[in-house]
């Protein structure tokens, strides 16, 4: 499906972005691991997080969808009683990397995993390696890809230093640690999103953090009660970027996650000169908070200057780095992203697809091994951008179109439904004359 996004007038109004994708995946999985019912509000209704609901249903959980949008009751299968299943993860990398952490330690069970063409190109050895060190039996394709099978085995705790700053690997090892004998320690050199740690702390797990060491011990039963999933800062970021770039814009994003491990993009945009006012959580590395803070942000358009995104900032803005490249096209001077080689194994090779996509719209942008360099040249001409089946590329093209001189035709706009099916109508609601 192709869609044209023409240069627009200012964005105005307020909006709640759809429920956070990372927290929704975790709400479904952790809900399924509980014995008592878990009520979820704000759940993301999108292809990726429906895959997770289907997965937990296949593993024996009952999921009742409430009358209000995004409201669910999950009656779990329990921490150690998942039913054997074939799990189709669709396009959801987070489901593919987290669910094995729950299942690998359930002896006697067998779970097979597969997904779409993009998921079959994304590595799972990054979770299979630590799980095998814990005693897991996992058969992967070509040593590192889906389809793969998890055979439940007794696990033992390990100390694992993450080879890349990845919340998915961290979460998988911690989840496996709940069922493993002894203590499980994950060492992360750079902080990444910490929703798993917060949920585990809330669920009564003895989990501690000392500097870069996160530790937990085997656990019997998780208890969560209610979970509210706030709006996704990664989805809100598209509207925030559009409001920054289109002259005269002023928008408010409500009920957005203010978790500091998710708001790196706002901090980078502010450094570039953008005016984004909101009560964001202050960075607090080395501790585990129990709650997920929410905020309202107020965004206005304004001039930008280039910046350098350092490697330690990358995990805190990983999914928004394509938008940093877009802002860079409109900024004075150079915008450089380094230490972001992980972008190469996202839904597409996001260094290649962002660089090719924006260059096709007139950007001065060069790929590097671990990021890109953009030289602002007063904006973008416009043209055609191919989404490559990547939801964030499709939405990037839409925002680029609004801010461009001639407009942008996005090829494959339907990919947006993976995380944000209502994206076009939400964007249109901000473009209505007031």
Q: Which are the catalytic amino acids?
A: 319
364-423 positions binding ligand S3P, by CB under 6 A? none
Stretch binding ligand S3P (CB under 6 A), from 74-82, 163-171, 299-307, 373-381: 163-171
Q: How far is the CB of 166 from ligand S3P (least distance, A)?
A: 3
Stretch binding ligand S3P (CB under 6 A), from 164-172, 173-181, 323-331, 400-408: 164-172
Cβ proximity to ligand S3P: between 341 and 384 the closer is: 341
Cβ proximity to ligand S3P: between 239 and 391 the closer is: 391
Q: How many residues bind ligand S3P (CB under 6 A)?
A: 11
Answer yes or no whether residue 193 interacts with ligand S3P by CB under 6 A: yes
Stretch binding ligand S3P (CB under 6 A), from 130-138, 160-168, 176-184, 397-405: 160-168
Answer yes or no whether residue 259 interacts with ligand S3P by CB under 6 A: no
Binding mask 338-357 for ligand S3P (x = CB under 6 A): ----x---------------
Per residue, the 3-state secondary structure of the chain, as one string, reads CEEEECCCCCCEEEEECCECHHHHHHHHHHHHHECCCEEEECCCCCHHHHHHHHHHHHCCCEEEECCCCCCEEEECCCCCCCCCEEEECCCCHHHHHHHHHHHCCCCCCEEEEECCCCHHHCCCHHHHHHHHHCCCEEEEECCCEEEEEEECCCCECCEEECCCCCHHHHHHHHHHHHHCECEEEEECCCCCCCHHHHHHHHCCCCEEEECCEEEEECCCCECCCEEECCECHHHHHHHHHHHHHCCCCEEEEEEEECCCCCCHHHHHHHHCCCEEEECCCCCCCCCCCCCCCEEEEEEECCCCECCEECHHHHHHCHHHHHHHHHHHHHCECEEEECCCHHHHHCCCCHHHHHHHHHHCCCCEEEEECCEEEEECCCCCCCEEEECCCCHHHHHHHHHHHHHCCCCEEEECHHHHHHCCCCHHHHHHHHHCCC
Cβ proximity to ligand S3P: between 106 and 166 the closer is: 166
Cβ proximity to ligand S3P: between 168 and 184 the closer is: 168
Query: Rounded to an integer, what distance in angstroms lies between the CA atom of residue 400 and that of residue 318?
Result: 19
Query: Rounded to an integer, what distance in angstroms lies between the CA atom of residue 149 and that of residue 18?
Result: 32
Answer yes or no whether residue 48 interacts with ligand S3P by CB under 6 A: no
- Is residue 22 part of an annotated ligand binding site? yes
Q: How far is the CB of 71 from ligand S3P (least distance, A)?
A: 21
- Is residue 122 part of an annotated ligand binding site? yes
Binding mask 78-97 for ligand S3P (x = CB under 6 A): ----------------x---
Stretch binding ligand S3P (CB under 6 A), from 83-91, 166-174, 269-277, 295-303: 166-174
Q: How far is the CB of 409 from ligand S3P (least distance, A)?
A: 26
Count Cβ atoms below 10 Å from residue 310 Cβ, excluding itself.
12
Answer yes or no whether residue 166 interacts with ligand S3P by CB under 6 A: yes
- Which residue's CB atom is positioned nearest to ligand S3P? 22
Q: Which of 197, 319, 386, 426 binds ligand S3P (CB under 6 A)?
A: 319
* Interacting residues toward ligand S3P by CB under 6 A: 22, 25, 94, 166-168, 171, 193, 318-319, 342
Binding positions for 3-phosphoshikimate: 21-22, 26, 166, 168, 319, 346
Binding residue numbers = 21-22, 26, 93, 122, 166, 168, 319, 346, 350, 392
């Amino acid at each position: 499906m192709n869609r044209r996004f023409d240069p627009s007038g200012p964005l105005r109004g307020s909006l709640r972005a759809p429920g956070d994708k990372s927290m929704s995946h975790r709400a479904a999985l952790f809900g399924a691991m509980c014995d008592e019912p878990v009520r979820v509000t704000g759940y993301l209704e999108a292809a990726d997080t429906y895959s997770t609901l289907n997965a937990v249903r296949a593993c024996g959980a009952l999921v009742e969808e409430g009358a209000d949008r995004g409201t669910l009751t999950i009656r779990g299968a329990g921490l150690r009683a998942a039913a054997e299943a074939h799990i189709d993860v669709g396009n959801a990398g987070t489901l593919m990397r987290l669910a094995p952490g729950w299942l690998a330690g359930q002896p006697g069970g067998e779970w097979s995993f597969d997904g779409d063409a993009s998921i079959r190109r994304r590595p799972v050895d990054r979770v299979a390696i630590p799980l095998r060190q814990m005693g897991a039996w996992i058969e992967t394709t070509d040593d590192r890809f889906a389809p793969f099978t998890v055979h439940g085995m007794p696990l033992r705790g390990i100390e694992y230093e993450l080879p890349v700053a990845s919340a998915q690997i961290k979460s998988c090892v911690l989840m496996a640690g709940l069922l493993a004998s002894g203590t499980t320690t994950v060492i992360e050199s750079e902080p990444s999103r910490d929703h798993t740690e917060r949920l585990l702390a809330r669920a009564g797990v003895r989990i501690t953090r000392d500097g870069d060491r996160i530790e937990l011990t085997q656990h019997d039963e998780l208890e969560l009660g209610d979970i509210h999933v706030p709006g996704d800062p990664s989805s809100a970021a598209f509207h925030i970027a559009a409001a920054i770039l289109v002259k005269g814009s002023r928008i408010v994003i409500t009920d957005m996650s203010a978790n500091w491990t998710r708001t790196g993009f706002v901090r980078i945009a502010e450094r570039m000169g953008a005016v984004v006012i909101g009560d964001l959580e202050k960075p607090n590395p080395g501790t585990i908070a129990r709650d997920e803070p929410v905020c309202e942000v107020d965004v206005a358009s304004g001039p930008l200057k280039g910046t350098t995104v350092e490697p330690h900032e990358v995990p805190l803005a990983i999914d928004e780095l394509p938008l940093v490249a877009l802002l860079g096209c409109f900024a004075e001077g150079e915008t450089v992203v380094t230490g972001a080689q992980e972008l190469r194994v996202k839904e597409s090779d996001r260094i290649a697809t962002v660089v090719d996509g924006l260059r096709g719209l007139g950007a001065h942008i060069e790929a590097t091994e671990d990021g890109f360099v953009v030289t602002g040249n007063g904006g973008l001409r416009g043209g055609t951008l191919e989404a490559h089946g990547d939801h964030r590329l499709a939405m990037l093209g839409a925002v680029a179109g609004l801010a461009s001189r001639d407009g942008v035709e996005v090829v494959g706009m339907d990919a947006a439904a993976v995380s944000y099916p209502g994206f076009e109508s939400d964007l249109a609601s901000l473009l209505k004359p007031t």
